Structure 1
Amino acid sequence: MKKKNKWVAWVLSFLLMATYMMPSDRLNIYAAEGDGAFGLITINKVSQNQSSIQPGDTFGLVVEVTASKQGEGNKVYISNAKATGSGLDSSKTNFSVSETEEISGVSESKTITISGLVYNGGSKDIEVVVEVGRSLQTTSPDSNDTESYTLSAKSSEDFVDVLTVEKQDNLLVKTGQTQNVEVKVTNKGTFTVNQADMKLALGSKVEGVEIKTSTATVKNIKSKETKTGIFTIKVSEDAKAGVYPATVSVAGNSYSVNIQVDSSVVPSALEVSTSGSKIYTPGVASEVTFKLSNVGQRDAKNIRFEVVNSENVSIVEASNVKRLDIIQGKASQDITMKLRVNSSFKGDSVPIQIKVDYLNSSGEKEEDTQYVYLSTSASSIASEVIISNVISPTDTYGVDQNFTVKFNVSSKSGADNLKISVKGDEGIVPKSQNLFFVTKLGKGETKQYSVTFAATHAAITSSHPIEINVEYGDAKAPTTISQYGSANISNPKKDAEGDEDEKLKGKPKVIIGEYIVNPTIVQAGENFELHLGFLNTNSKHTVNNLKANIKVIEQGENQTGNVFTPVGGSNTFYIDQLSPGETVTKDVTMYTIPTAKAKTYEITLEMAYEDEDGNEITATENIGIPVEQVTKIEAGDIFVEYAQVGIETTLSTTFYNRGRTDVTNMMVYVEGEGFTVENNRTFIGNFKQGDSQTYEPMITANQAGTLKGEVIVEYEDAAGKTQEIRKPFEFLVEEMMMEEMPPVDGEMPPVEGETPTQGPVSKKWILAGVGVGVVVAVAITLVMLKKKKAKKEEMMLDEED
């Protein structure tokens, strides 16, 4: 055992002597081959220069190192210091050493700062490496040491649902401009977000729209704070106006936004018109010139113009289709065709359907359907009734959006038994009264009408005609005239699918397809008939168990009850089943309370029904009922004072407004033969409810006997209609009294057949004649005053009754 230990001691002594005698460069190589314990450098500590970092932050590391044991007097140099890891962007890093890169002596410490590190939000675990060499010029390290370190940081996972982009208005940009748009980002977390990187991208490529600045950086967003990221978008002049989907990405999440392109340039749009002065005779082929106008500012190209043949109109001697290469913006072009109106056509204007398709400035195909109306020879014949001032809506309406068509009906010399009906094209249904009856239309009288319509899901995207028909005269062979309005409807779902989509198919809709009020204007205190048509607008599915309640909220004066109440029935309707497209009608008699004010009242129909699967559906429809108060103007007895031929006397009567409304433009006058009236026409004007008015013109009889006449009252009622009252009267006229004078100076009047003698007249006879005249006049006056007083007392008693 002692011998073996002796040999070990000799080997160790030999190795120590060999090491001492080896060159110094061989010493470094030996040290470089060792691990940390025997290397030239050791990492003691790693720390951050920021307590906590977030994605996007730039930070640094502080590294403390110590030289390992080596021969005294040897020197080493720090040649590199770096940090690596998937969560770092170290492309711009550098390092610095306190004082100098040289480390001399044994166990000397140095502080190294690694700066320019950027945290990307990935893994927090990194590796720190410090390399050393024997000289500053070394290209490869003689030794290094590595230390693992976990960053004090918030990773991308910590930001999930912290930064959000709330729903906001469209990002609005205009053609021909480069504009900035703002997107709001909100910090919903409990800590401040140092930096948020946002990115804007279009959902798909849009011609003429370019996002020039697609990224935005927002810094220091406090908890619950909202800030904006700014992006730049360039839009060309030719970009198509519209709304385009885009996304904003932030903190790993994407949010939908819309970029809305508005154009100050009107796109190409074609309109068709004709000259309205030409008259077309049914059965005779005539040329018609259509004017095709581009009302937009962009060119329309590859234009196809088609006149649709129908039972009333056909194109002859040529094709019904014309093609044009281009119509520039704000330009027009004439298209001439020869057409024939069906010889059996009886209307005064015939509608012609025109289809136009073309390529717009973006190269996309545009299609449109329009109607023009040609006057026929029937319209050149003088008609007693005229449809005029047809006002069609100018906007474009979607499904279930109400629109109104207005028109006037007038008569030149008066017409009786008018039936006015207004109906829409396929898929266009009335939402207000569309059938009117007028017993009499006075000479020169004009009535105004308006009918509200809406498109159903069956209506296609097109311009739809609205037909106005008026029948009047003999009920067995009425005269008919017609006129047309139009409405533009947009229904993309119908265009794309050819029918209602599945969701709408599963939920049928019931509307009031028609309603008629008889009389058209309801009198307060009287009954009226209400005719309702319940229409199932769905083309596929049935409606079951429909229940409709009539509801009127408004009341009369002093809360005297609902304005309308059903008579002899309930305010509820039941319909077992409504087939697709079917209309079921219901009639109800309604009573209007006497105190109802003159205006149009709204009746609400609350409906509840089931689809084929038993799902309950509710809907509400409103209809208008015009009400007018009863006008009651009465005339009292007519008195005429004692009348003689050629002598003025007084006619007297009193008028009373016993109705519930005021009347206007009231005028009173007298008509008759055998007498004249001074200041005949008296204009009273407004005659208020409860008022009375006395009428006392002076009349002069032109002949003796019993004369007859009428006192006439004309006025306008609350509905603006002219009304007339005639009150007949008669009075007795006596011959003018020719009184003989006594002889002067006491002479007797001459005997018949004798020649009177000349001489003075006696004063006695003169005084006697005057006395008799006075007595007669007083007697007549007393009799007339007594009669007049008796008549007035009788009239007052009638009023009290």
Structure 2
Amino acid sequence: MRSTTATATTAIAPTAPAPAIRLMAALISIVLGLTLAMASGLSFGVQSALADETADTGTATTAPANGSGATQTVIAGPVPNIIITGYTYGGNSVAAGATFPLNFTFQNKGKVRVENMVVTVDGGENFTIAGGTNTFYFDRLAAGKSLSQEVQMQAVSGAKSGAQGITVSFRYEYVDQDQRGSNNADIKLSVPVSQPDRFQVNDPQVPESLNAGEESTVTMAYVNKGKGDIANVEATVEGDGIEAVTKTQYLGNVASGASGSIGFAFTPTTTGEVNAKFTIVYEDSDGHQQTKEFPVTLSVQEAPAPDIPSADADMTTQEQTGTPWWVVVVGVVIVVAVIIAIVMVRRRKKRKKKASVDEAWDDWEKGDGDAGGPSDGNGNGPTGSATTSGVPATSAVPSDDTADMPAVASVADMPGNGSASGARRRH
């Protein structure tokens, strides 16, 4: 081939110009350059493929440097992490005592795959597993991949209201740079729990009779039978034909199991049937406002005219409200005893005074008999001289009014009386 080319060249040499030869040489140089460039690109692609293939193990192999065939090893990647990217629990909230499906999705955020994974779900004191198990096993999970798991759970009847926690735990292994490692992660989920509204208010207790213009009271008993507290309890009374000094009452919070009563004081202003409404407003354990209304119809009558008490009624009232009868009897007995004592004392005094007067007369008569004066010629002795003294015989006994006077004998001693005592004084 070469001699043929040379021969051809020799044959055409006389006719081919020199510039044509230089052009052909330039074309040959271009073709050779393109061929070398294509060979270099192929080598670069093979090197990139080898690096991608070893990415999962955290190592990378580069092309030989300067044709020596040596390789370089880079530092291992970070520990792979597992996170929960989303979860559902069947609605806006879970009622206490109800079952619900907990569905969660988890993802491997690392650069290497994880193996031998164990997942555990723990509901704490507010949730339990509604049948089945709370532990699950997964053989492997590649880098960047996700898996989902569903668990049937139940909120216990005594669960607290509000957001309550559920813990999902992950334990797994991984291989990096031909070495096996392990890791674990605990992730908490929040599930809202609602207690049923069991705040009970009884119907209003209305009096049997209501009078216009007179204040009356209506009471309502309540009890919180729920597991959670209720807050901001307010009670209101309203209606045409009634007046209330306090139309709205604020009761505050009512704890679980607490009870009490609400009293409404109002005054009907018209007679007949009066429509009124009692309203209770509060916030349940979930913070939602609840309202209970109790419409009632009141039968109001005209107030009766006031009774004017009579005199007999006043006396009867006084007797009924006066001193007890036994006190009166004792008082009468004491008064009678005092009167009797006074009468007896007076009688004794009178008897003593009369006795002293009698003794005075006796002494006077004895004195006349001892004088032995002459008779009056009529056979009368000294006694006769006493009767002729001009003092009546009846005056010998003094009356009660003269009981305190001196003895009558002093009268006989008066001058001019022809008494025996006077005769004695003359002798």
Shorter-chain-normalised TM-score: which range?
A: 0.3 to 0.5
More helix by share: 2
Q: Higher relative CO (CA 8 A, sep ≥ 6), structure 1 or 2?
A: 2
Question: TM-score, normalised to structure 2's length?
Answer: 0.45
